[in-house]
Amino acid sequence: MERVATPSISASRVASVTGPSVVIGPREPREPGRQPAAPTQPVAAPVTALAARSADGKQEAGAQFLRPLEASGAHEASAEAHEAARSRRSASAAPVESVEELRKSAKRKGHVWSPMTDAFEAARKQNDETEAKAEAKAPKAKSAASSSKQSEREKGQAAQLELHLQLQALAESKLRAVESEDYELAQKLKQQEQELQRLCTSKSWAALVTPSANATAARPGSALVFRKNVGPAPKAGPALRRPSAAPAVPAPAPAPAVPSGAGKLVFVLTAPGELTPETFKATTTHVARRDALARIATAALWRGRGLAWDDIHEIVFIFEDYRALHMTPRFVASCPVPSEYHLIMVLQRALEGSAVPGLKISAPDRERFLGGHIDDTVARFSRAGPTSVVLLHETYPQSLGLYDQDLRSDAGETNKRSLVFFLGAVKDMTPEESRAVVRACRTHEVPCVEANLGQQAEFTSKIIDVLHGHHEYRRLAPAVARARRAAAGAGPAAAPLPGTFWVFVPMGGSPRDVVADDKKRDGQYEIPRCCISQLWCSRSEHRCHALSFVYPGGEVLTVNPSLVTCLKLQHRAAPTERNLVNALRVATGDWRADPNLTVDDGCVVLGDASNIMTKRGDALHPNKTAFLDLEVGSEGPKLDPYRAGVSTSKGVQNVVLLLHHAGARDFPRNFRQKLLEGILGPKNATKRSWMTLGMPRLSIHASISLLGHYWDTRALTRALEQMPGRPPWDEKIVSTSR
């Protein structure tokens, strides 16, 4: 144990304790590592116990204390003997408390005087020992840390994999619940899914559906190089503007490769606006008509909720800034519910830099017209296999001849040919764009067909629905092959059909619960989409069409074509989901949905099957009305609208159609009979029955678009006239009073 030396106290210094002030003369020892103290100044003498006793006249204890201190100077040769003698004398002469007070006054608290000449020697020694111990423990600590990190990483990966599997199972269960229209179960599953997603680091639908996807795939955002034009500008189109806040990213992503196998569809569309995040806003889909782009993408890729078409390669949008957006069926997993809100939101995130499978963006070549995307698309598919290009517009004189009798629908080689369709999204393709398609076809020796699907101008999304339907019946590829060999002719112009084409669709919930999709809930996007397919057409409305939604409680919500004009006159011509949902809510009494909107009487009618004809201006002729119960995806007998036949003067004029999915939600019990009685009357209803047929599996809105095309081309009425159970043209009508 290190010994602490105590400095001797002289008689003169002790005497100064009782005086008015004291000057500390000798230099006090300095603790190792401390700076030298400043020169001392005279300070007031501390009032100690010894000084207090001297002031009271108790000099005897002080004298006894001073005598041994004076005598201690003579015994400096023997330090140990002096210390022992001083201890004995102090113990006999003064109390212990006085000695302790004196010692405390003689040295500063906390100071330890050590006879070391190097103040940093102890610190260096301690530091060396610490480093030696650390070097000895470093390999063990490193190995232990790496093993612990590896085990933690493995545990985390296992936990995330388990979460992914649970989320995938929930997603599949939710899709099955939605297909069966059990929306209550789907809502519960969605809540469970959201709770699990909070614990999951990867919340992408594509990551759940395709967990083995390559994580190093090119990000869609890498194709967005926001800079000014750096070359000769093309002949047509606006100049590219620099966005205010756009992420700076490197080189553009390459265009997607053509999948193996042929016989599929490709849709290339010229789109308005620029391909920037600022033009894709989920809350204002009418800006730059992104609502139309959402409907077009849904028609091209989605067969239903969470289901992708298997007969399509890709869909390409070419924007006014000459950038191209490529979407493949894999994108369906990233947005299983293709409402306008969800789809535009996913596209906006992709443009901001988020990686979305099935979505790629290609930059333009400034030296070529429209960035060279038209020529590149034709070249890619021409190298991949047999390909035909089709330009569609209602003004082209040639018809595809889809209903011709000599058209073979089982041509093997023909059905293996890829079909590339060029259309205009929102606006028609310009003559310059059409000529660019023809030049590309000549350059790459690809046959090109200019044809029409009918004389009626339709929305692009409805045209794509119709093309999918014809392709399901295996009529599209043979019709294109025949049209490219010889002109089929325009055919006689069909006059507008008299009568009514009325479609009934079963829905869940209540007619007053119609909502649009937003951040907090999933709406029934099928309702506005069905309204557009049945009632809207390009720049007009289908005056002879009607659409009714049937709810489990027996309520029937009927939407008439006059709603199109009603919204157009109130500056809501864009049929966005929010505009249509708000109109339906206002019509059913919820004016707070859109306080500035007025829905005219008769546009939307809420009733039941018994009074379905109350607010209709004209009754349906019983002997010229066909009642068709059509099951989508049924395995039974199919509706064959391509059957040859000539419509008679006594043929079908009205079609009342019940449309529903096989194995999904059906109409309420006894609704079919009640509807017959409501339309024909109780007596005439007993003589009629429903014709039950099926059709290929399409979405409800795509089925309505296809059936509407059959109606406009009179293929539907011709097919029903030859079916058993057709209207009894010559039967006597029993009059009914209402």
Torsion angles phi and psi, residue 493, rounded to 5: -70, 125
Contact present, 677 and 610 (Cβ < 8 Å): yes
Tokens, residue 469 = 């339907």
CATH superfamily of 501-721: SPOUT methyltransferase, trefoil knot domain (3.40.1280.10)
For residues 199 and 203, give the distance between their C-alpha atoms in angstroms, rounded to a whole number: 9
Which single residue is written with the structure tokens 């979405």?
699
In this prediction, the residues of the chain whose per-residue pLDDT falls under 70 are 1-124, 134-156, 178-181, 183, 200-262, 408-413, 486-496, 517-523, 644-650, 725, 728-738
For residues 569 and 571, give the distance between their C-alpha atoms in angstroms, rounded to a whole number: 6
Domain boundaries, the chain: 11-106, 127-203, 223-485, 501-721
pLDDT at 422: 97
The domain 223-485: what is its CATH number?
3.40.1280.10
> Vertex 564, ends 559 and 566: CA angle to 5°?
100
Contact present, 418 and 388 (Cβ < 8 Å): yes
Contact present, 661 and 730 (Cβ < 8 Å): no
Tokens, residue 562 = 């006059």
pLDDT at 128: 76
CA diameter of the chain: 154
Burial of 694 (0-12, 13-18, 19+ CB in 10 A): middle
Contact present, 405 and 644 (Cβ < 8 Å): yes
Q: To which H or E segment does residue 550 belong?
A: strand 545-550
For residues 546 and 559, give the distance between their C-alpha atoms in angstroms, rounded to a whole number: 6
Give per-residue pLDDT as tens, 22-40. 444 444 444 444 444 444 4
pLDDT at 569: 93
| β-pair partners for 327 | 315, 359
Task: Classify the phi-psi angles of 554: left when phi > 0, otherwise alpha if psi is within -120 to 50, otherwise beta.
Answer: left
Q: Which of 269, 342, 259 is nearest to 305 (CA)?
A: 342
Contact present, 612 and 671 (Cβ < 8 Å): no
Q: Do domains 223-485 and 501-721 have the same CATH topology?
A: yes
Provide the CB-side half-sphere exposure for 315 (13 A, CA): 28
Burial of 161 (0-12, 13-18, 19+ CB in 10 A): exposed
pLDDT at 646: 58
| β-pair partners for 362 | 324
pLDDT at 469: 95
Give per-residue pLDDT as tens, 379-428. 999 998 899 999 999 999 999 989 887 776 655 667 788 999 999 998 89
Count the helices and strands in the chain (H runs, E runs). Answer: 22, 20
For residues 479 and 484, give the distance between their C-alpha atoms in angstroms, rounded to a whole number: 9
Nearest 10 degrees: Cα torsion 234, 239, 244, 246: -10
pLDDT at 265: 96
Per-residue CA distances from 472 to 213, 339, 500, 534 (Å) = 30, 24, 26, 20
Tokens, residue 6 = 């105590």
